[in-house]
Amino acid sequence: MGVRTVTFSSEGNPLRRTFIQRTREDTPRAGNGDPPTTDDQSTPKKEIAEAVMNPMKRSILFLTILTLVAAAPVWADQSMGPEIPISVLDNQQYNPHVAYNSVRDQYLVVWHNFWGGSRDIYGRRLDGEGNLLSSFTISTGTWDRVQPAVAYDPLNDRYLVVWSYDFHGDGSDWDLYGRLIPWNGPDAGLTEFPIETSTRTQDSPEVAFALAQQEFMVVWNNSGGGVPRDIEGARIQLSGSLVPGGLVPVASGAGDRFNPDIAYNLDRNEYLVTYDENGADILATRLTGNGVVLGGGEFGIATWPSPESKPSVAACGGGTDRYFVAWQSLVAANDNDVYGRFVTGDGVPDGAPLHFSIHASEPDVTCRNGSADFLAVWESQYSSTTGPFGIDGRLVLPNGTLSQGFVVRTVYSGETGVATMPAAVGGQQGSLVVWEHDRQGTSYQDIHGRMVWGSLFSDGFESGNTNAWSSVAP
């Protein structure tokens, strides 16, 4: 199997993509989302440059590419890289999260690894094209460490990884810990530190970096103590220490609040924290950059009769000043659909909810770096409500419309379990989607991923909009 890198360019819009050219024996089954492999993709960069300068050749190039687009399957607008075996240790690996390093065009994927003793936190770096770099342990020890989350600090070129820690080793008291990880891996001088160690249980942490505030915000779920579950947060300085007085009471009430997520809005230096109440409604709270609750507190995003749960939130920034929230909605026993909705920067649900997919759950949403598009991915059920599962996705465009659905990871004949719990983050060249991956025929579970590139052209060229081009031959 050969790999060929091709550069397509319009005025002010160079785009680099790595395509896979397969032999006939290596042709994948339909539905895996691979890009077309026609010889037209191998057009040299010099010929394309000549075509842009020559009106007749430009006309031919335009028609050729439109023909390719028209002939492609519905998911072909989302070209993808090959499936990436991020971690294939002979263990069981769970809960992947991923952050993007905008300074070096790299990613860090984190997860917890169960090797038969305790559960530990591991990580692996990838470059901007999805090539594997170094792997390492982040936190290990006698007692369990689970549910890692990660965010990137571009000012110091390092990450904050947070997780829940079984303090006594018997599941009676889970605390929250973190560690700063430099861009190229752990530094022995940067050790793990406690974030919250009260006698109540802290779990399901999420973390965001606030560029204007120059600090991290961590949110989590508190439980125990004879009171309903609530959402709490903590402001973490760039040095890794808690901001004095930095614990933030985000949301509480008569019902239990679960599954927090957080996004940072650079346009306002604010956060939006989302969560569900009793697994029934999707709620949210806005916070200032220094952790003060805004806008009268909690508000509803999805509160219709069917149960809604497990929200994910992202913000694009760059003057867009709005968020996108995705969640799952129970429509029958063990059968969910995925929905999503815009929320304005000042906390107002914007427009009707969008329906992404039936037989879908565990959504994750990210902003495609440098754009106003959001990417949502989720588990898709194949065969029955108990699986097997694949990973699908759709783009949310700024005008509130959805792209065609596309397959990130399909299920092949005879496979069981397969791909669950996706997470995604936008990067410079595309987005990295990661997931838990059953290794067929074994008891092992791996971490896999795949690069989802943007459209072949991000300037509207595919749809016939050539405004970004210097001229178009009639």
- Whether the predicted pLDDT of 18 surpasses 90: no
CA torsion through residues 68, 71, 74, 79, sign: negative
Residue % of the chain over a pLDDT of 90: 73
371 or 13, which is more confident: 371
- Phi/psi for 39 (5° steps) reads -65, -20
Listed residue (313, 423, 318) closest to 371, CA to CA: 318
Let me know if 217 is exposed, middle or buried by CB neighbors in 10 A (0-12, 13-18, 19+): buried
What tokens does 353 get? Answer: 């909810």
Q: What pLDDT sits at residue 317?
A: 80
24 or 428, which is more confident: 428
How many helices (DSSP H) and strands (DSSP E) are in the chain?
Answer: 2, 30
The 3-state DSSP composition of the chain as helix, strand, coil percent (nearest 5) reads 10, 55, 40
What tokens does 421 get? Answer: 């719990």
- Whether the predicted pLDDT of 153 surpasses 70: yes
Q: What pLDDT sits at residue 432?
A: 98
Q: What is the pLDDT of the chain when averaged over all its residues?
A: 83
DSSP 81-124: ---EEEE--SSEEEEEEEEEETTTTEEEEEEEEE-SS-EEEEEE
Highest mean pLDDT range out of 3-17, 76-90, 341-355, 448-462? 341-355
Beta bridge partners of 137: 122
Does residue 387 contact residue 343 with C-beta atoms inside 8 Å?
A: no
Does residue 292 contact residue 240 with C-beta atoms inside 8 Å?
A: no
* Mean local confidence (pLDDT), 31-51: 34
What tokens does 27 get? Answer: 């042709």
Q: What pLDDT sits at residue 1?
A: 36
What tokens does 345 get? Answer: 């920067």
**Cis peptide, bond prior to residue 422, ω within 30 of zero:** no
**SS3 label, residue 328:** strand
pLDDT class of 455 with cuts at 50, 70, 90: low
- Phi/psi for 68 (5° steps) reads -60, -45
Q: What pLDDT sits at residue 369?
A: 74
**SS3 label, residue 428:** coil
Separation between Cα atoms, residue 115 and residue 105, nearest integer Å: 31
Q: What pLDDT sits at residue 289?
A: 97
The domain ranges of the chain are 2-77, 84-453
Q: What pLDDT sits at residue 333?
A: 86
DSSP 129-169: T--EEEEEEEE--SS-EEEEEEEEETTTTEEEEEEEEESSS
Does residue 449 contact residue 430 with C-beta atoms inside 8 Å?
A: no
Separation between Cα atoms, residue 240 and residue 103, nearest integer Å: 20
223 or 23, which is more confident: 223
Residue with tokens 């560029």: 211
379 or 468, which is more confident: 379
Q: What pLDDT sits at residue 27?
A: 26
Q: What pLDDT sits at residue 448?
A: 98
For 354-410, the pLDDT digits (tens) are 999 999 999 999 998 778 999 999 999 998 778 899 999 999 999 999 999 999 999
Q: What pLDDT sits at residue 385?
A: 78
Separation between Cα atoms, residue 356 and residue 183, nearest integer Å: 35
Residue with tokens 């009769």: 305
Does residue 125 contact residue 99 with C-beta atoms inside 8 Å?
A: no
Q: What pLDDT sits at residue 58?
A: 41
CATH 3.90.1170.50 fits 84-453, yes or no: no
